[in-house]
Amino acid sequence: MITRQKRIITYGTFDMFHIGHLNLLKRLKSMADTVIVAVSTDEFNLGKNKKTIIPFEQRIKIVECIKYVDMVIPEKSWEQKVEDIKKYDVDIFAIGKDWEGKFDFLKEYCEVVYLDRTSGISSTKLKKSLKTLLSIPHDELLKAFDILETLRKDLE
C-alpha cells in the first residue's frame, strides 16, 4: 500500500540565516517528506515591526538552497496560512515555541506543532552585536586590530 507523502509547512523571516533556523528546518525534514517554507516579505515584516538586514529576494534564495527545504513561497499576510494549508494539502503546521498557542486555530485544518528554539542565537542578537561593532569609532577599531596583530605575532 503506497502511503501518501507527509507535508509540513512553516513560516518565518529567516533574516541573517543562522543555526537556529537550520536546526528548525532540519527538524521539519525529520517530521515529513515534503518541507514547505513561507518566507516573510519585507513588506509583511514591516507589519511585524521587524526591520530585516537581508532583503526578501536574498532570504528566500538562501532558504530555497537549504537541503531540508523542498519548496519556498512568500509570506505576504497573516491570513494566508489557512489558504496555503488547503492549497498545498499540508498535514502539519510547525513553528518555534516563541509562537506557542498563537496558531492553534489551524488545528481545524492540520496538526499544529510548536518546536523548541535553539538557545543562544537569534537574528535580533546578531543585529545587536553588529550594531555594537559598527558603533566603535574607526580609529579605535584599527588600534584594537593592531594590538591583536602584535599579540598574534608574539604567539607565533
- Residue 50 is a catalytic residue: yes
Rounded Cα distance, 1 and 110, in Å: 23
Q: How far is the CB of 153 from ligand C2G (least distance, A)?
A: 37
Query: For the purposes of burial, counting CB atoms within 10 Å of the CB of 75, is it exposed (0-12), middle (13-18) or buried (19 or more)?
Result: buried
Q: Which stretch binds ligand C2G (CB under 6 A): 5-13, 82-90, 129-137, 146-154?
A: 5-13
Q: Respond yes or no: is residue 86 known to be catalytic.
A: no
Which grid cell sits at 121?
A: 542565537
Which residue of this chain has its Cβ atom nearest to ligand C2G in the complex?
96
Distance of CA 31 to the CA centre of its chain: 17
Member of 14, 34, 90, 106 binding ligand C2G (CB under 6 A): 14
| C-alpha grid cell, residue 46 | 514591516
Phi/psi at 83 (5° precision): -65, -45
Judged by CB under 6 A, which of 16, 32, 60, 75 binds ligand C2G? Answer: 75
- Which residue, 88, 74, 67, 75, is CA-closest to 4? 88
24 belongs to the binding site for ligand C2G (CB under 6 A): yes
Per CB under 6 A, which of residues 81..100 are in contact with ligand C2G?
Answer: 95-96, 98
Sites for ligand C2G among residues 30-69 (CB under 6 A): 40, 50
What residues act catalytically?
48, 50
